[in-house]
Structure 1
Amino acid sequence: MREVGSRADLPMPAPTNEMVDPVDATEPAETTVWRARRLQRLTAQLSEALNPAQVAEVTAHHAMASLSESAAWVGLVDAHRGNVQLACAPGLSREFRERFASSSMQEASPLAAAARLDGPRWLATEQEILDAYPELGQVQRGLGSLAVLPLAAGGRPLGGIGLCRERAKDFSADERGEVLALCTLGAQALERAVQFEIAQHVAATLSLSLLPRVPEVPGITIYSRYLPAATDARVGGDWYDVIPLSSGRVGLVVGDVAGHGVRAAAEMGRLRTGLRAYLREGHDPAEALGLTDVLTSEMSPTLMTTVWCGILDPETGRLSYANAGHPPPAVLDLTGEVSFLDREQNPPLGIRWGGPFAQADAQIEPAAFLVCYTDGLIERPGERFDSGLERLSSALRPSVSGLDELGDRLLALPVETHIDDVALLAIYRDPPDGGEGPVAR
């Protein structure tokens, strides 16, 4: 057996594509009412931005659309590296983006200078711009006027923004007021986004610390991943486990404690430990789930947990499994057919059901994949559960050359703003001839 891939991927959400619509220039756009509406719209869009890159995109595009600017840039301070990274530069040249992709905080570049400013800088002519930032003339044409402002919160520099006009025209008092309000809102959103990233990283790290290291098991290849929720910075209760058992068999577990937070994570740790112990004592999947149900009902009677538990013999391919309210694993055979292990369903753990748990058997043929997962992989708000299973089936059917390729394809299923964690455990039964892993169909 060889383990493929790392224990987790912690991708950051991609920037949003929903930007502010330009205000019709024929409307009384400079009235107080219209400015207030634009800022309300900006506030709503910033509330949906989850990370600094998204905040930068929303702020820059809103400023361009609202004030009819020809270009804008937003730089973000990287406190660990001591520099300013260019987050977005709509309307600016490729030379500008390459030259100012990263600037030291001590540089005279417009990005670093903006982050260091105590207040706004309004430059009404090209000559004023070139006097302040000589390098700009080398990488950007059509600089008529420029506004450069810091983005700061609580006295801490978070970045800077630049708004460019092709024509030489000073910013009016109304425009300056709107830009200052825009920067205040952008800076507040940046501070929230930075704190969210930190909390999300801590939560993901804690979740990973509770997950096991996948052991080597002769006869199978294993792929495991944990993906934290994109919209929740609290630790989750999703987990997977691989437990070597007697006679070369292996226990496979994927589970999901309802909710997020320290309590859900603590419950997940207790259940994982208890279920692992019951399997090692020699209990079959149904018995192990029954004992774990008693355990969770006694310790945390208000927390519901779904679990799929199986015991696989890699030599024969025989799989015994029991399912406590969990999404059914998928099996992809050598011909490309996809089936789901949905026999003998049992209630979730923790509801004080008290009845015996049923189990079923299946055969995992050589060169077949067994894909176990939590509901975050397939579920989307307002969508039927079967739609998620159909989407999973469609993702499995195209040929693959290995578990890494298959896993990357499956982890692309959740939407960018997925609200739940994802635990993914995929097993490939090695061919008896000693072939090196999966082969394309």
Structure 2
Amino acid sequence: MSVERGVGGPLSRELARAVRAGRLPANAWAALADVLESLDPAIPVGDVVASLTDVVPSELGEIDLPGQEVRTPARGRGDRDLRWRLTDKPDAGSPSRDDIDRTAFLDEVSRASATSLNSAEMLTQVSALVQSHRLADVTRVWRSTDDGLLCATSSSGDVQADVTAQQALITRRSVRTGAHRLSVPLLAGRHALGVLDLERRHRGFTADDISLAHAVAGRAALGLRNAYEYEREHELAERLQYAMLPALVESDELDIAARYRSSTRGVHIGGDWYDAFSRSDGTVVLTVGDVTGHGLDAAVVMGQLQNALRAYALEGHGPASSLRLVHGLLRESRGSLYATAVVVEVQVCTGTIRWASAGHPPPLVQDASGAVAYLDADHGPMLGIGLSPSIPEHARALTPDSAVALYTDGLIERRTSDIDAGMARLAAAFERCGDGKVGERTDNVLHEMLGGTDHDDDVCLLLCRWLGSA
């Protein structure tokens, strides 16, 4: 039956254009005509053609590589899929057990694709579902990169995509090699993000299987696109955060190292900062602070406070005086954000330190033997609150090879435990990591405290070791 006999007018012309553009195969007319005749004539022509180009390639237009037997697809699920897309309702009658299983399986794939924003983790979950549903015995997912197709579901870096997977990506259509191999492109809008590669050992892929594979690939592609966007935004935010962190002062009497770790959850720019600089009199000033909240506003306030503390300290103000001045600056800004901060001055010739804190976790001192103690003295309230705070200042003498650690609360706070438990864990971590250079100690402490687990907040850790006077 020709298109002209099955349908007429604008729809016939639109279908002809779709064939010329390669969006529909030339041999699709006979199978389409019967389906189209049963559709509501009130459905817009554009909706019909758009739906056909989504459904028909998976049923009629897959590309056959050498060794594949070309078969005319039987009517059945493809017709029902088309009617569902255009009328939002299935054929009359109760759904079959196969239809119920198909819907439940696709719901699982949709949840797996939406649950994780880690692209590798998400694709691994989808692959496992495909195999558990017995859609394929072997599953691989290829990601499209600047270097070609890379396997996202294999830890082996030497796995290479063959011509079947590459053909599916280039043509944006499913490709079969023989009866037991099927490659389906992961399409998100106009973008081909990769290929879902399926293999069976003992049975071939039917038209229903191919339709289901396309449905799985569509859901996986949507999840992959969301994961890519998240990863790109997270990388941009992290790069911006690192660009705002200062270079640390170098001193013959001090060994200083600092680390920043962004939150592993969400996409945001944090308000944590650290700084270490030298005054003209040789005093080294260390600061660590944390602005409440996240996002651009917190980052802007963080930059202002970090620069203000540096400026006041360089003018000669001591730790408590610098914090009071910054408090006034934050109050005058009339914003809704607050901050905590700690400032430590180190007299490099004598090892004497002076410090003051505004609502911040106390500094930690580690002596030459590796024993640790918190400088848990009186401190002032958070910066920016609606009062004129009293911020006390304290002093203490260090012994050679002692170290002072400043950190933000993201290092010690956990949802599953209180802050006292976190501080005890930090002290124990410093005792275990007492050997080695300062940079190594800092990395080891972070590994002890954070490990490979997710953490909800940004983390700063600044460690300064006084070598002693010459």
Q: Is the structural similarity TM-score above 0.5?
A: yes
Partner of 2:257: 223
Match of 1:266 among 280, 289, 300: 300
Q: Which amino acid aligns with 2:222?
A: Q
Matches within 5 A, 1:72-221: 72-78=139-145, 81-89=146-154, 98-100=158-160, 108-123=162-177, 125=179, 145-171=180-206, 173=208, 175-221=209-255
Contact residue 120 and residue 147 of structure 1 kept, 8 A? yes
Cα displacement string for residues 384-422 of structure 1 (whole angstroms, at most 9, x for unaligned residues): 112222222232222432223222223333353322222
Structure 1 residues 75 and 310 mapped into 2: Cα distance closer, same or farther (>3 Å)?
Answer: same
Structure 1 residues 57 and 428 mapped into 2: Cα distance closer, same or farther (>3 Å)?
Answer: farther
Shift of 1:252: 0.6
Partner of 2:374: 340
Residues in 2 aligned to 1:37 and 1:388: alpha-carbon distance in whole angstroms: 43
Q: Which amino acid aligns with 1:98?
A: D
Percent of pairs identical after alignment? 29
Partner of 2:125: 58
Shift of 1:122: 4.2
Residues in 2 aligned to 1:116 and 1:380: alpha-carbon distance in whole angstroms: 48
Residues in 1 aligned to 2:215 and 2:272: alpha-carbon distance in whole angstroms: 41
Q: What's the secondary structure of 1:88's corresponding residue?
A: coil
- When normalised by structure 2's length, the TM-score is 0.73
Residues in 2 aligned to 1:362 and 1:164: alpha-carbon distance in whole angstroms: 70
Q: Which amino acid aligns with 1:368?
A: S
Residues in 2 aligned to 1:214 and 1:54: alpha-carbon distance in whole angstroms: 37
Cα displacement string for residues 325-365 of structure 1 (whole angstroms, at most 9, x for unaligned residues): 12223222222212122211221111123121112223332
Q: Which amino acid aligns with 1:85?
A: L
Shift of 1:312: 1.1
Contact residue 231 and residue 418 of structure 1 kept, 8 A? yes
Structure 1 residues 182 and 170 mapped into 2: Cα distance closer, same or farther (>3 Å)?
Answer: closer
Residues in 2 aligned to 1:121 and 1:309: alpha-carbon distance in whole angstroms: 64
Residues in 2 aligned to 1:243 and 1:373: alpha-carbon distance in whole angstroms: 17
Does residue 455 of structure 2 align to residue 418 of structure 1? yes
Q: Which amino acid aligns with 2:200?
A: R
Q: Which amino acid aligns with 1:320?
A: R
Q: Which amino acid aligns with 1:363?
A: A
Cα displacement string for residues 261-289 of structure 1 (whole angstroms, at most 9, x for unaligned residues): 11111111111111111111211111111
In the alignment, structure 2 segments of 5+ residues that lack a partner are: 1-95
Partner of 2:351: 317
Q: Which amino acid aligns with 2:144?
A: V
Partner of 1:45: 112
Structure 1 residues 40 and 366 mapped into 2: Cα distance closer, same or farther (>3 Å)?
Answer: farther
Cα displacement string for residues 102-134 of structure 1 (whole angstroms, at most 9, x for unaligned residues): x6xxxx544433433412234554xxxxxxxxx
Q: Which amino acid aligns with 2:258?
A: S
Q: Which amino acid aligns with 1:370?
A: V
Residues in 1 aligned to 2:413 and 2:377: alpha-carbon distance in whole angstroms: 21
Partner of 2:52: none
Structure 1 residues 305 and 41 mapped into 2: Cα distance closer, same or farther (>3 Å)?
Answer: farther
Residues in 1 aligned to 2:438 and 2:132: alpha-carbon distance in whole angstroms: 45
Larger radius of gyration: 2
Residues in 1 aligned to 2:238 and 2:252: alpha-carbon distance in whole angstroms: 30
Shift of 1:207: 1.6
Residues in 1 aligned to 2:210 and 2:443: alpha-carbon distance in whole angstroms: 47
Q: Which amino acid aligns with 2:356?
A: A
Root mean square deviation of aligned Cα: 2.5
Contact residue 71 and residue 89 of structure 1 kept, 8 A? no
Structure 1 residues 247 and 259 mapped into 2: Cα distance closer, same or farther (>3 Å)?
Answer: same
Structure 1 residues 166 and 349 mapped into 2: Cα distance closer, same or farther (>3 Å)?
Answer: same
Contact residue 347 and residue 353 of structure 1 kept, 8 A? no
Partner of 1:275: 309
Q: Which amino acid aligns with 2:459?
A: V
Shift of 1:376: 2.0
Residues in 1 aligned to 2:262 and 2:174: alpha-carbon distance in whole angstroms: 39
In the alignment, structure 1 segments of 5+ residues that lack a partner are: 1-28, 126-144, 434-441
Match of 2:383 among 333, 339, 349: 349
Partner of 1:286: 320
Shift of 1:74: 1.4
Q: What's the secondary structure of 2:312's corresponding residue?
A: helix
Q: Which amino acid aligns with 1:428?
A: R
Comparing 68-77 with 418-427, greater Cα deviation is found at 68-77
Contact residue 73 and residue 163 of structure 1 kept, 8 A? yes
Q: Which amino acid aligns with 1:346?
A: G
Partner of 2:436: 401
Shift of 1:167: 1.9
Number of residue pairs matched?
373
Structure 1 residues 289 and 49 mapped into 2: Cα distance closer, same or farther (>3 Å)?
Answer: same
Residues in 1 aligned to 2:106 and 2:395: alpha-carbon distance in whole angstroms: 60
Q: What's the secondary structure of 2:454's corresponding residue?
A: coil
Cα displacement string for residues 37-81 of structure 1 (whole angstroms, at most 9, x for unaligned residues): 443343333334233222222222222223364322112122xx3
Partner of 1:389: 423
Structure scoring higher RCO (CA < 8 A, sep ≥ 6) equals 1
Shift of 1:242: 0.9
Partner of 2:279: 245
Comparing 272-281 with 334-343, greater Cα deviation is found at 334-343
Contact residue 367 and residue 428 of structure 1 kept, 8 A? yes
Answer 1 or 2: which has greater helix percent: 2
Structure 1 residues 112 and 361 mapped into 2: Cα distance closer, same or farther (>3 Å)?
Answer: farther
Residues in 1 aligned to 2:166 and 2:334: alpha-carbon distance in whole angstroms: 52
Cα displacement string for residues 118-159 of structure 1 (whole angstroms, at most 9, x for unaligned residues): 12234554xxxxxxxxxxxxxxxxxxx222111121211211
Comparing 161-170 with 262-271, greater Cα deviation is found at 161-170
Contact residue 84 and residue 159 of structure 1 kept, 8 A? yes
Contact residue 304 and residue 349 of structure 1 kept, 8 A? yes
Contact residue 218 and residue 314 of structure 1 kept, 8 A? no
